Amino acid sequence: MNHPTFGFRRIFLVFWVIAGLLLSSCGTLFPTPEPVTITFGYYNYDQAYYESLLPGFQEKYPNITVELKPLRNEPDFSTDVTVVSWMATIDTTEIFDNLLPLDSFLSEEKTYSPADFYPGTLDAFAFEGKQYAIPQGVDPYVMYYNKDLFDRYGVAYPQPGWDWTDFLDKAQSLRDPEYTIYGFAPLNDHLEALILIYQHGGSLTDGLAPTLNTKLNIEAIRWYVSLFRDYNVAPTDEQITSELGAGGRGVYYGLLNGKVAMFVASLSMHGGRIQGIPAWTFKWGAVPLPHDENAFTISFIEALGVTRNSEHPDASWKWIQYVNSQPHSRLLPARVSLAESPEYAELVGDELATAGRQSMQNALLTTRQNLSGLMNIVELFSLTMDSLVNQDLVVQDEMDKAQAQAEQALP
């Protein structure tokens, strides 16, 4: 009869023998992943941000090395992973022929949910039923303001929910001809006027048909032009040159020198994040754009894609996956859970985080779908607005001319 203790000891001994064999042969049973190096094409003004992500990624994936390469072209298909802007998707043939579909990776990804991305952002980088890039961030237009000037003139800071009347009141209170200070100045070839049209209930097209000279459009444009021609709270080109500084920097030079109290720009521009132009030295704030009948703004998008040239698509996907799980320092994260996280607010500040989040509630994404047939009309609109702001012209007459020109250009 076997003693029970002997049976237990034999089982125990067998266990340790097997364990020893496993440990001695672990190089075969559990091989160490081969070292892999991937290249990442990114905008060079994000270098510090991506460098800050490398240690965490290296700790999680010690066999993968990421080499950062500033973009030579946009996007850069010579890298393994590249940043892809919304503009690149306009030429669908080039972009989607050079990126790898990511659907097989997404099907195995348990932490991603389409509902966690801002509406329309995934669609912007999808083509013929396949997903070619993962949205990393959105970039809505917001209103920036110079807190130093507001404090100097005792004007209350703008708050979310403000309207056109509030905006004009503040712009008038901040205008100081003696010191050549303007309440507002345009930075975007009068894109602000386009936004005002949609806030007022107008639009540039009805389907594919141009609608430049409709009643609602004329009303919004007249109000915008009055900021320059009647109220003189915003500078014309002549005033920009003579009072704010020329040399191609005009308005930007003026705001750097404390001459502009409010201006519209993308969220990514905060603090002066533009290559070759100095950072803002004034104390600044940000708020959603003032509204009229509607709250409305425009937003850009950026995404990350794996190129078809990549020899390491699995490692490339791991980098995208990791980056997409981190709040971005320049953009509002495209994933709502990240955009609304305390980590993002801590990274950029509560005020900017709030401005971005609230702006996205009423934002039109700049995508090839939304801009289909609009590019030429937008360019014509911009040229017309430039003439109206800088010359003594009749708004209705100029918009009638623009409408006729747009109709003649129809196929």
Report pLDDT digits (tens) over 205-225: 988 899 999 999 999 999 999
Q: What is the pLDDT of residue 188?
A: 83
Copy the structure tokens of residue 249.
């920097």
Helices (H), 325-369: 336-339, 342-348, 350-359
Minimal CA–CA distance to 142: which of 203, 83, 187? 187
Domain residue ranges of the chain, discontinuous segments joined by +: 36-139+300-365, 141-298+370-408
Q: Residue 38: which residues within 8 A CB-CB, separation 6 or more?
A: 64, 65, 66, 67, 79, 80, 81, 310, 312, 315, 316, 319
Preceding omega of 75 cis (within 30 degrees of 0): yes
Model confidence at 134, pLDDT cuts 50, 70, 90, reads very high
* 141-298+370-408 shares the fold of 36-139+300-365: yes
7-43 pLDDT, tens digit per residue, is: 544 443 433 333 343 334 444 454 667 899 999 999 9
Rounded to two decimals, the pTM is 0.89
136-192 pLDDT, tens digit per residue, is: 999 999 999 999 999 999 999 999 999 999 999 999 999 999 999 999 999 888 999
Query: Structurally, what CATH architecture does the domain formed by 36-139+300-365 represent?
Result: 3-Layer(aba) Sandwich (3.40)
What angle do the packed helices 375-390 and 191-199 form, to 10 degrees? Answer: 100
Tokens 């996007």 sit at which residue? Answer: 75
Kindly report the CATH class assigned to 141-298+370-408: alpha beta
